[in-house]
Amino acid sequence: MISTQSISLKVEQNASRIDSYISQKVSDLSRSRIQQLIEQGNVQINGGVCNSKKETVKEGDFIVVEIPPAESLELQAEDIPLDILYEDDQILILNKPAGLVVHPAPGHPNGTLVNAVLAHCPNLPGIGGVQRPGIVHRLDKDTTGAIAIAKTEIAHHSLQGQLKAKTARREYLGVVYGATKEDIGTINLPIGRHPKERKKMAVVPVEKGGREAITHWRIKERLGNYTLMHFQLETGRTHQIRVHSAQINHPIVGDFVYSSGRSVGVNLPGQALHAWKLKLQHPISDEAVEVIAPLPDTLTKLLDVLRKRLSS
């Protein structure tokens, strides 16, 4: 059983707010987590409970931070095989298969990536005081490829910051219907919830709730009436690549939500879209971490079929 962790700090010089001081000295805790601990009465200063995150500390003050064990998440750990591309004590990067939902939701209470990670990391310290992996970005159920999971509070905070600052690089490969005239381009169209079909996203003006969405694309291989495209996300809206591709009349092959999903001679589990490459900075060392997720067999087979069809 994991017990309460106690951290003692003696202030070496006059500082400002106590939450800021602790965050500088304890790298494993995010500022928001420290503020949460203060609100819960788990931080003491000179023997008394600290009642405010804004309390000023000075040289000679003695701080004690009590970190209770993470609360158990109601979700059950499930022994689901994981294709691990990279792992250390801070982050886990997986090659997600098609058909695997990332996070539990109505209709998918279990059998998700989160359930699998909870089984793989039984001693997960948790995020925000709850024993859970940090989901910082998601992949649609049938989109395959690289997805990063934060295993600690500090990693979660760091990866979220990288995505917000657009320093994390996410590259996708996808097969689309049709052939574009240009070899390279950018789609800059806001995305929001579809005004009539609530399970779909759509290009929606900002004044009507749409959010900025930018997708860079270039042709990787022309395959007759199909094209293998390289996509790079600058933003990360729900279904972004799928919506943008459909908007320029080149929807992703096999996407039954945003196109007719007409047959191409290969039994696809869903859209032919793969999170191919992920590059980010390690939350502790700041070193670059780059992974490439091998293409799933279905996408490899689709490309083989289209290449043979083109050459025949």
- Let me know if 272 is exposed, middle or buried by CB neighbors in 10 A (0-12, 13-18, 19+): buried
- Rounded to an integer, the average pLDDT of 102-131 is 80
- Rounded to an integer, the average pLDDT of 51-70 is 85
Q: Which residues of 214-245 are buried (b: 16+ CB within 10 A; e: fewer)?
A: bbebebbeebeebbbbbbbbeeebebbbbbbb
Residue of higher predicted confidence among 308 and 76: 308
Please determine, for residue 2, whether its predicted confidence score (pLDDT) is greater than 70: no
Distance of alpha carbon 307 from alpha carbon 312, whole angstroms: 9
Question: Which own/partner contact pairs does 119-123 have at CB distance under 8 Å and 24+ positions apart?
Answer: 119/77, 119/78, 119/79, 119/80, 120/82, 120/92, 121/92, 121/151, 122/77, 123/2
pLDDT in tens, 190-240: 999 888 887 789 999 998 888 999 999 999 999 999 999 999 999 989 999
Distance of alpha carbon 210 from alpha carbon 233, whole angstroms: 17
Distance of alpha carbon 312 from alpha carbon 300, whole angstroms: 18
Amino acid at site 127: I
Query: What is the residue whose two structure tokens read 């196109």?
Result: 259
Q: Three-state secondary structure along 287-308?
A: CEEEEECCCCHHHHHHHHHHHH
Cβ-contact 256, 247 below 8 angstroms: no
- Per the confidence metrics, is the pTM higher than 0.75? yes
pLDDT in tens, 78-107: 999 999 999 999 999 999 999 999 987 766
pLDDT in tens, 279-288: 999 999 999 9
Active-site entry in 28, 83, 88, 140 = 140
Is 140 among the catalytic positions? yes
- pLDDT given for residue 169 in this prediction: 95
Distance of alpha carbon 244 from alpha carbon 213, whole angstroms: 9
- DSSP-derived secondary structure letter, 30: -
